A and B are shown apart, each in its own frame.
Chain A
Amino acid sequence: MKAHWDVVVVGGGHAGAEAAWASARVGCRTLLLTRDLGAIARMSCNPAIGGLAKGQTVREIDALGGLMGWAADRTGIHFKVLNASRGPAVQGLRCQSDKAAYSREVGQRLAARPNLELREGAAAGFVVAEGVLSGLRLEDGEELGCRAAVVTSGTFLRGLIHVGAERQAAGRWGEMPCVDLSDALRGLGLRIGRMKTGTPPRVAGKSIDRSKTVRVRGDVAPRAFSFRSRLERFPRLPQVDCFLTHTTERTHDLIRRNLDRSPLYSGVIRGRGPRYCPSIEDKVVRFAERDRHQIFIEPEGLDTDWTYLGGLSMSLPADVQDEVVRSLPGLEEAEILRPAYAIEYDVVFPEQLDDTLAVRELPGLFLAGQINGTSGYEEAAGQGLVAGVNAALVAKGREQAPFTLGRHEAYIGVMIDDLVTLGAEEPYRLLTSRAEHRLLLGGDTAYARLVEKGMAYGLLTEEEAAPIQEREERQRAARAALGGSRVLPDRGTLLELEAMGVGLSEETTGAGLLRRPDAPASLRDWLAGRVREPLGGLDDEEWERLVNEIRYEGFLKREREVIERVRRAADRPVPADFRYRGVPGLSAEAAEKLERHRPRTLGQAGRIPGVTPAAVTLLLARLASGERRVSS
Chain B
Amino acid sequence: MAPLVGDAAGDGDVLVARATPVGTGALAIVRLSGPAGRVLALAREMAPRIPARPQARRAYLSPFLDEEGSVADEGLVLWFASPASSTGEEVVELQAHGSPAVVELLVASAVSRGARRARPGEFTRRALANGKIDLARAEGIGLLAGAASRGEARRALGLVRGELSRKVAALREELLGVLVELEARLDFAEDVERDGETSALARIVSARAALRLLASEAGAGRAPGVVPTVVIVGAPNAGKSTLFNALLGEDRALVTELAGTTRDAVAEMFEVEGERVRLVDTAGLRETTERLERLGVEAAGRAAAGADLLLVAREAGGESPARGDLPEGVPVLVLETKADLPGERRDGELRVSARTGEGLTALRREIGARLVSCLGTGEFGGLPRQREALLSAAAALDGLGAEGPAEIAAGAVRAGLHALGEITGETATEELLDRIFSTFCVGK
Confirm or deny: B104 has a beta carbon within 8 angstroms of a beta carbon on chain A. Answer: no
Does B430 belong to the interface (CB within 8 Å)? yes
Q: Interface of chain B, helix or strand or loop or mixed?
A: loop
Bound-state CA distance A617–B88 (Å) is 18
Check A587 against B4 for contact (C-beta < 8 Å). Answer: no
B22 lies within 8 A of chain A by Cβ? no
Q: Which residues of A contact B12 (CB under 8 A)?
A: 582, 584
A615 in the interface (beta carbon within 8 A): yes
* Contact-residue size bin, chain A (C-beta under 8 Å from the other chain): 35 or more
Q: Please encode chain B, from 190 to 208, with 1 for each CB lying within 8 Å of some chain A CB and 0 for all others.
A: 1100000000000000000
Q: Size band of the B side of the interface?
A: 35 or more
How far, in whole Å, are A486 and B187 apart by their CA atoms in the complex? Answer: 39
Given contacts A87-B405, A276-B437, A617-B4, A587 and B189 within 8 Å (CB-CB): no
Within B155-190, the residues touching A (CB, 8 Å) are: 183, 186-190
27 pairs of residues in contact across A and B, judged by CB atoms under 8 Å? A83-B189, A86-B407, A87-B407, A277-B444, A278-B441, A278-B442, A310-B444, A311-B444, A433-B186, A439-B407, A584-B11, A585-B128, A586-B129, A587-B88, A587-B130, A609-B430, A613-B421, A613-B426, A614-B4, A614-B5, A614-B135, A617-B3, A618-B129, A620-B1, A621-B5, A621-B6, A624-B3
Q: A277-B444, A433-B187 are in contact. List 10 more A-B contacts (CB 8 A).
A: A87-B405, A87-B407, A276-B188, A278-B442, A287-B441, A555-B408, A562-B415, A585-B128, A585-B130, A614-B129
A569 part of interface (Cβ distance < 8 Å):
yes
8 closest A-B pairs by beta carbon, nearest first, are: A585-B129, A275-B437, A584-B8, A287-B441, A569-B1, A276-B443, A582-B11, A310-B444
* A436 lies within 8 A of chain B by Cβ: yes
Which residues from A are CB-within-8-Å of B442?
276, 278
Bound Cα distance from A616 to B13, whole angstroms:
20
With the chains together, A393 CA to B335 CA distance in Å? 82
A345 to B5, CA, bound (A): 44
Question: CB of A438 within 8 A of chain B?
Answer: yes
A342 contacts which chain B residues (CB < 8 A)? none
CA distance A69 to B287 in the complex (A): 82
- Contact call A283/B405, Cβ cutoff below 8 A: no
With A and B bound together, what is the CA distance between A310 and B10 in angstroms? 59
Assuming the contacts A278-B441, A431-B433, A433-B186, asked whether A584 and B9 have C-beta atoms less than 8 A apart, the reply is yes
Question: Bound complex: CA of A584 vs CA of B35, how far in Å?
Answer: 10
Question: What distance in Å separates the Cβ of B376 from its nearest Cβ neighbour in chain A?
Answer: 25
Q: A431-B187, A433-B187 are in contact. Are A587 and B131 (CB under 8 A)?
A: yes
Chain A residues, Cβ within 8 Å of B411: 438-439, 555, 559
Which of A276, A311, A569 counts the most chain B CB atoms within 10 A? A276
Chain A residue with the shortest CB-CB distance to B187: A431
How many angstroms between the C-alpha atoms of A620 and B4 in the bound complex? 10
In the assembled complex, which residues on chain A have CB atoms less than 8 Å from the CB atom of B130? Answer: 585, 587
A31 at interface by CB-CB < 8 Å: no
Please name all residues of chain A whose beta carbon is closer than 8 Å to the beta carbon of B288 when the two chains form the complex: none
Within 8 Å CB of A286, what residues of B?
A: 441
Chain A interfacial positions (CB closer than 8 Å to B): 46, 52-53, 82-83, 86-87, 89-90, 92, 200, 274-278, 283, 286-287, 290, 293-294, 296, 310-311, 313, 431-434, 436, 438-439, 552, 555, 559, 562, 569, 582-587, 602, 606-607, 609, 612-618, 620-622, 624-625
Among residues of B, the one whose C-beta sits closest to the C-beta of A276 is B443
State the Cβ distance, A575 to closest chain B Cβ, in Å.
17
**A613 contacts B4, C-beta separation under 8 Å:** yes
Instruction: Give the distance in Å from the alpha carbon of A293 to the alpha carbon of B427 in the complex.
Output: 34
Please, which residue of chain B has its CB at the minimum distance from the CB of A582? B11
Q: Which B331-358 residues have a C-beta within 8 angstroms of A?
A: none
